[in-house]
Amino acid sequence: NAGVTQTPKFQVLKTGQSMTLQCAQDMNHNSMYWYRQDPGMGLRLIYYSASEGTTDKGEVPNGYNVSRLNKREFSLRLESAAPSQTSVYFCASSVVFGDTQYFGPGTRLTVL
Amino acid sequence: AQTVTQSQPEMSVQEAETVTLSCTYDTSESNYYLFWYKQPPSRQMILVIRQEAYKQQNATENRFSVNFQKAAKSFSLKISDSQLGDTAMYFCAFMKYSGGGADGLTFGKGTHLIIQP
């Protein structure tokens, strides 16, 4: 039981490049979330998926898209990366929406 | 919108001492959850403790306990018999929950706790 896994762990992009961050959970959770953490800040919600087949914007959705591929997987896509998107990205999941969230190990993304 | 404030950017105590981390929040919601998460240098976010707003009894998990003052919108974390492994960033977080649905977590900026040997 790996919990929540994220790939890659580290990534460096050039401005304008695109990439997809992958997240998977093996806990049979219904809800999944993407957060970003900037230096000196707590985490901020980018997007969430309350259940399979649904996605909604969080606090800071601009510049991102998401896909809930199936119940296990929830990906985050940067279509045209910008330096302001340099951050650590965390994926989380919960049994149902509004329940305790469990986090993956994070992806450190640097955009040059 | 909710806000969460942690007024102590950094704290340092000796091993085996008791330490209290402060958290206040601002909300007009009546139904919500409060959490403390720990982030060690490994960067992993680890749930420490959770409190349901409708419960008057303060949550406890082994050496970790909270002092939840709903009227004052205060949610402090007490760590007893602190250990070197408690060294980490600690984040207070809020999540509303109502018949209209729920939100993701709203986090404070964190308190860096250092346990000295």
What are the counts of helices (DSSP H) followed by strands (DSSP E) for chain A?
Answer: 0, 11
The structure tokens listed for B109 are 């900026």
Contact A103 B44 (CB under 8 A): yes
Going residue by residue through chain A (112 aa), what tens digit of pLDDT does each one get? 679 999 999 999 999 999 999 999 999 999 999 999 998 888 999 999 988 989 999 889 999 999 999 999 999 999 999 999 999 999 999 998 878 899 999 999 999 9
In Å, how far are A93, B84, B105 from B62, measured between CA atoms?
25, 16, 24
Residues of B in contact with A90 (CB under 8 A): 45
Q: Does A33 touch chain B (CB under 8 A)?
A: yes
Residue B100 has pLDDT above 80, yes or no: no
pLDDT digits (tens, 9 = 90+) for B16-25: 999 999 999 9
pLDDT value for A15: 97
Q: How far apart are CA A44 and CA B107, in angstroms?
A: 7
B57-73 residue pLDDT tens: 999 999 999 999 999 99
Dig out the tokens for B81 from the structure: 């018999």
* B112–A contact, CB cutoff 8 A: no
CA neighbor of B39 nearest in space, from B87, B84, B88, B86: B88
**Chain A residues with CB-CB distance to B106 below 8 A:** 42, 45, 59
The 3-state DSSP class for residue A83 equals helix
Q: Is B78 touching A (CB cutoff 8 A)?
A: no
